[in-house]
């Protein structure tokens, strides 16, 4: 913490704030997520409604507080699933056996499909439920996690201490867990941050196209889509959710860059 620069500390504070909002937003919201509180649409900010109202006269602040849990929660779970699955397969493939060839071909095939197109086809076919969104997002970004983990593991596997472990008769699970994995944890943690940002952006894109979290609930991308008509009025109902997505993703990127630079 002491070695982080001012920019990284600000980014960390913003990330922490969004995590707190995602965890407690539904209790902090002054109104229900779908409650109509004003007869006029796209009202400006006021004392009663700090972020104004949306296209149906609902409190934007309450909508954002409730939407944050979906954006942060879905993105975190999907990114974690992608990282765990990709890392396990990547470490297994780093042994250089026939498993490496099979897994590499499977994940290369998935990588060849554009992420947004893949997400649209799967979610539209199975229905835009939260489990389907999480599973789809995890599948989309598992190949990238696999390739990162495999490359890192293969670099470490070529080092002398791994050769010594093999020479003294250590089994493969011991070499992977005790020799390789501890030396790739930090780069994988940084890669998890990148995956998280990518999942947030893809989830927001799917929601903007109408196949994300469904009404009456919404994530931040859904708030942008449903209030896009207020853009011409400069309404906070569309501007603030977009700024929220930007602040979260940019902060995670800044923190990752800062930590990586300090390690170098």
14-62 pLDDT, tens per residue?
A: 999 999 999 998 899 998 888 888 888 898 898 989 999 999 999 999 9
Q: pLDDT at position 68, please?
A: 94
Q: CA-CA distances (angstroms) from residue 6 to 9, 14, 188, 257?
A: 5, 12, 24, 13
Each domain of the chain, given as residue ranges in start order, spans: 6-263
- How far is 61 from 56, CA to CA, in rounded Å? 14
**pLDDT mean over 119-135:** 91
- How far is 63 from 216, CA to CA, in rounded Å? 10
Largest CA distance in the chain: 76
> Is 8:20 a contact under the CB 8 Å cutoff?
no
Q: pLDDT at position 264, please?
A: 57
Instruction: Report pTM.
Output: 0.90
Q: pLDDT at position 234, please?
A: 80
Mean pLDDT of the chain, nearest integer:
89
Which band of pLDDT confidence, cut at 50, 70 and 90, is reported for residue 263? Answer: low
The superfamily in CATH containing domain 6-263 is MetI-like (1.10.3720.10)
Residue 58 pairs with which residues in a beta bridge?
A: 36
Residue 36 pairs with which residues in a beta bridge?
A: 58
Q: CA-CA distances (angstroms) from residue 71 to 45, 139, 226, 252?
A: 24, 17, 16, 14
Helix axes 115-126, 130-157, angle to 10 degrees: 140
Residue 1 has pLDDT above 90, yes or no: no
What is the DSSP secondary-structure string of 185-252?
Answer: HHHHHHHHHHHHHHHHHHHHHHHHTT-SSPTTS--HHHHHHHTGGGGGGT-HHHHHHHHHHHHHHHHH
Q: What is the pLDDT of residues 131-155, one digit of tens each?
A: 999 999 999 999 999 999 999 988 8
Go through the chain and tell me how many residues it has: 264
- How far is 111 from 10, CA to CA, in rounded Å? 34
Residue 21 DSSP code:
H
Gap between the terminal Cα atoms of the chain: 16
- How far is 258 from 222, CA to CA, in rounded Å? 31
Q: pLDDT at position 2, please?
A: 66
């Amino acid at each position: 913490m002491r070695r982080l620069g001012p920019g990284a500390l600000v980014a960390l504070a913003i990330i922490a704030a969004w995590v707190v909002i995602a965890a407690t937003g539904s209790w902090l919201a002054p109104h229900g997520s779908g409650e109509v509180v004003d007869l006029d649409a796209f009202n400006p900010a006021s004392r009663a409604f700090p972020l104004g109202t949306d296209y149906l006269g609902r409190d934007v602040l309450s909508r954002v507080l409730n939407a944050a849990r979906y954006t942060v929660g879905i993105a975190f779970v999907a990114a974690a699933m992608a990282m765990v699955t990709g890392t396990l397969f990547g470490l297994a493939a780093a042994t250089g056996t026939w498993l490496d060839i099979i897994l590499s071909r499977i994940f290369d095939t998935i990588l060849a499909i554009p992420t947004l197109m893949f997400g649209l086809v799967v979610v539209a076919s199975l229905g835009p439920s939260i489990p389907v969104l999480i599973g789809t997002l995890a599948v989309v970004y598992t190949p990238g996690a696999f390739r990162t983990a495999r490359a890192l593991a293969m670099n470490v596997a070529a080092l002398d201490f791994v050769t010594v472990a093999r020479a003294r008769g250590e089994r493969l699970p011991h070499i992977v867990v005790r020799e390789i994995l501890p030396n790739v944890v930090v780069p994988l943690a940084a890669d998890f941050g990148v995956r998280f940002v990518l999942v947030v952006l893809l989830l927001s894109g799917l929601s903007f196209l109408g196949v994300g979290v469904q009404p009456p609930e919404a994530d931040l991308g859904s708030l942008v889509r449903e209030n896009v008509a207020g853009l011409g009025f400069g309404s906070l109902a569309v501007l603030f959710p977009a700024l929220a997505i930007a602040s979260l993703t940019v902060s995670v990127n800044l923190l990752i860059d800062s930590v990586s630079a300090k390690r170098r």
